């Protein structure tokens, strides 16, 4: 089993502390998929977390307290994710954990944190009716597919007027399976006739058989629940087979890596999103500029990871500048209308995140908000 190197970021926040403040370091473990099938997401998350920690430390938001982020690779592998969580909890003595990247890994690793009473802030786990149900130490920044896809479906149907649909999804991953379940439900509620359903495995790269079968049914729209590596290939192969209709993807499509992989085939693809990149909110624009200055063109996963650190910092503040595990847990319950790149962020009573969602369309090789 291979692990990425441990990365620690400590900023000198004592320069901003009040003279009598007690110096304290609050450790945050960040478990992201830096290798494996979800590595494109993990790279963005790592960049977002490190930027946020540095900015919090420089801001003086937490007088006398320094946030220290320890990043490890979950390898897009449940067993590796569990091992990373165990090290964070028992070796590093973190006050909170951000991650892991995929819902499948969260379902495996989060119970360890719950057992050891260590707060977890999920920043990309979108499986509905799961994750936060693991226990009261598990909180979620990322909107679930159930919060994003129905509104995206309504907006897309209002714009395009589709009446029939085909569905394609990965059936061996919790994230893509959950996305399919929500897509199917959303289409049925909108009165859209589902003409056919096809499945694939996350390791597949040839989708011609499934796409040929769906294309033959002549659907008005194609809904796809897939991780980014498959999403790019699906878009390319669909266009190569002559499918010219619209496609709508879930959170798995919401990465600039999708556009890179799909190229011209990405044009016109619709994506439900928890982050409105086009928002002119000053905090959002500042976040984008800071990420670009570090060499990263941010996507939703970077914005959510960045927000995860802001949420933990706010929890420490709400707990009276205390950074113990139970202090952070108590503080998370008080996070309300926190300004973030995602918009004003709060937690729902079930510890799921709450903020506005949107729907994007790829135009000119970039994501734009569907008008």
Q: How far is CA 136 from CA 107, 185, 304, 350, in A?
A: 14, 28, 21, 9
Give the model's pLDDT for residue 251. Answer: 84
The highest-confidence range among 14-23, 110-119, 141-150, by mean pLDDT, is 110-119
Given a cut of 70, whether residue 12 has pLDDT beyond it is: no
The CATH class of the 7-143+279-354 domain is alpha beta
Given a cut of 80, whether residue 16 has pLDDT beyond it is: no
Given a cut of 80, whether residue 118 has pLDDT beyond it is: yes
Give the model's pLDDT for residue 72. Answer: 98
Each residue's pLDDT tens digit, 120-164: 999 999 998 899 999 999 999 999 989 999 989 999 999 999 999
Give the model's pLDDT for residue 13. Answer: 37
Which of these ranges, 20-24, 89-93, 126-130, 273-277, has the smallest mean pLDDT? 20-24
Give the model's pLDDT for residue 175. Answer: 86
Given a cut of 90, whether residue 298 has pLDDT beyond it is: yes
Angle at 201 between CA 195 and CA 204, to 5 degrees: 105
Which of these ranges, 9-13, 105-109, 142-146, has the smallest mean pLDDT? 9-13
Given a cut of 70, whether residue 93 has pLDDT beyond it is: yes
Q: What count of other Cβ atoms lies within 10 Å of the Cβ of residue 9?
A: 18
Q: What is the DSSP string of 179-193?
A: HHHHHHHHHHHTT-E
Higher pLDDT, 358 or 22: 358
Under the banding of pLDDT at 50, 70 and 90, the label for residue 2 is very low
What is the CATH code for 146-273?
A: 3.40.50.2300
Between CA 289 and CA 285 the distance in angstroms is: 6
Give the model's pLDDT for residue 23. Answer: 64
CB-CB contact of 114 with 134 (8 Å): yes
Under the banding of pLDDT at 50, 70 and 90, the label for residue 355 is very high
Residue at token pair 């307290």:
65
Average pLDDT over residues 30-48: 96
Each residue's pLDDT tens digit, 235-290: 999 999 999 999 999 888 988 899 999 999 999 999 998 998 888 999 999 999 99
On the question of a common fold for 7-143+279-354 and 146-273, the answer reads yes
Given a cut of 70, whether residue 6 has pLDDT beyond it is: no
- For 20-51, b/e burial (b = at least 16 CB within 10 A) is eeeeeebbbbbbbbbbbbbbbbbbbbbbbbbb
Given a cut of 60, whether residue 22 has pLDDT beyond it is: no
Average pLDDT over residues 193-200: 98
Q: Where are the alpha helices (DSSP H) in the chain?
A: 39-59, 78-86, 103-115, 145-160, 174-189, 208-216, 228-240, 256-262, 282-293, 300-318, 325-332
Given a cut of 50, whether residue 180 has pLDDT beyond it is: yes
Average pLDDT over residues 319-325: 97
Between CA 73 and CA 39 the distance in angstroms is: 9
Each residue's pLDDT tens digit, 53-76: 999 999 999 999 999 999 999 999
Q: Where are the domains of the chain?
A: 7-143+279-354, 146-273
Given a cut of 60, whether residue 327 has pLDDT beyond it is: yes
Between CA 264 and CA 203 the distance in angstroms is: 24
Given a cut of 90, whether residue 201 has pLDDT beyond it is: yes
């Amino acid at each position: 089993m291979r692990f990425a190197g441990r990365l620690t970021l400590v900023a000198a926040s004592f320069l901003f502390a009040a003279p009598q403040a007690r110096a304290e370091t609050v450790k945050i473990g960040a478990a992201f998929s830096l290798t494996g099938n979800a590595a494109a997401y993990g790279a963005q998350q790592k960049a977002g977390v490190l930027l946020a920690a540095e900015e919090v430390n420089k801001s003086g938001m937490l007088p006398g307290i320094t946030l220290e982020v320890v990043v490890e690779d979950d390898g897009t592998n449940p067993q590796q994710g569990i091992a990373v969580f165990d090290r964070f909890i028992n070796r590093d003595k973190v006050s909170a954990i951000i991650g892991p990247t995929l819902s499948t890994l969260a379902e495996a690793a989060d119970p360890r944190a719950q057992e050891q009473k260590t707060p977890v802030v999920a920043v990309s786990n979108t499986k509905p009716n799961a994750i936060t149900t693991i226990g009261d130490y598990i909180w979620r920044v990322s909107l679930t597919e159930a919060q994003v896809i129905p509104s995206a479906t309504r907006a897309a149907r209002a714009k395009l007027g589709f009446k029939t649909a085909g569905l394609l999804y990965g059936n061996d991953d919790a994230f893509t399976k959950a996305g399919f379940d929500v897509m199917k439900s959303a289409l049925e509620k909108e009165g859209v006739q589902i003409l056919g359903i096809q499945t694939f495995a996350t390791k597949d790269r040839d989708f011609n058989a499934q796409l040929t079968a769906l294309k033959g049914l002549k659907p008005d729209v194609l809904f796809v629940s897939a991780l980014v590596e498959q999403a790019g290939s699906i878009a390319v192969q669909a266009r190569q087979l002559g499918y010219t209709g619209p496609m709508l993807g879930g959170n798995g499509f919401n990465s600039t890596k999708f556009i890179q992989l799909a190229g011209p085939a990405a044009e016109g693809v619709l994506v439900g999103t928890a982050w409105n990149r086009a928002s002119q909110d000053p905090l959002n624009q500042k976040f984008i500029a800071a990420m670009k200055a570090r060499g990263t063109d941010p996507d939703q996963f970077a914005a959510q990871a960045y927000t995860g650190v802001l949420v933990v910092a706010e929890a420490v503040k709400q707990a009276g500048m205390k950074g113990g595990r139970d202090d952070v847990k108590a503080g998370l319950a008080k996070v309300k209308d926190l300004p973030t790149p995602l918009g004003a962020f709060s937690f729902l009573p079930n510890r799921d995140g709450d903020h506005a969602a949107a729907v994007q369309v790829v135009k000119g090789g970039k994501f734009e908000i569907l008008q």
